[in-house]
């Protein structure tokens, strides 16, 4: 039995990333495999020394932005290649 590993695409909400998602979604369909969308948020230090809450709020905003980018990319993938496992 063949193992079909998913195609992985990094997304950041940019147009080039969404173009990559469209290509990858069609490629996943051709290869009969799934598509995995990922976004990364790096470690952050507090914005204002001595006030870790500000850094926490900023990190949470970045995580939310990354989650929104993945959600938007998933919609693009499903439109580009209906039926592909995203």
Q: With contact defined as beta carbons under 8 Å apart, do 18 and 67 qualify?
A: no
Whole-Å CA distances, 25 to 7, 8, 66, 69: 8, 10, 19, 16
- Residues 30-80 pLDDT 10s: 999 999 999 998 766 555 666 666 667 777 888 899 999 999 999 999 999
Three-state SS for 49?
Answer: coil
24 or 44, which is more confident: 24
Burial class (CB in 10 A: 0-12, 13-18, 19+), 5: exposed
11 or 51, which is more confident: 11
Alpha helices in the chain (DSSP H): 15-31, 52-80
Instruction: List the chain domain ranges.
Output: 7-80
Predicted TM-score (pTM) of the model is 0.82
* The pLDDT value given to residue 1: 44
* The pLDDT value given to residue 47: 58
């Amino acid at each position: 039995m063949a193992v079909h590993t998913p195609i992985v695409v990094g997304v950041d909400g940019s147009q080039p990333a969404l173009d990559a998602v469209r290509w990858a979604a069609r490629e996943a369909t051709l290869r009969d495999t799934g598509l995995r969308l990922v976004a990364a948020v790096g470690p952050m230090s507090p914005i204002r020394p001595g006030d870790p809450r500000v850094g926490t709020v900023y990190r949470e905003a970045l995580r939310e932005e990354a989650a929104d980018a993945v959600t938007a990319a998933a919609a693009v993938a499903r439109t580009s290649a209906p039926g592909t496992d995203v």
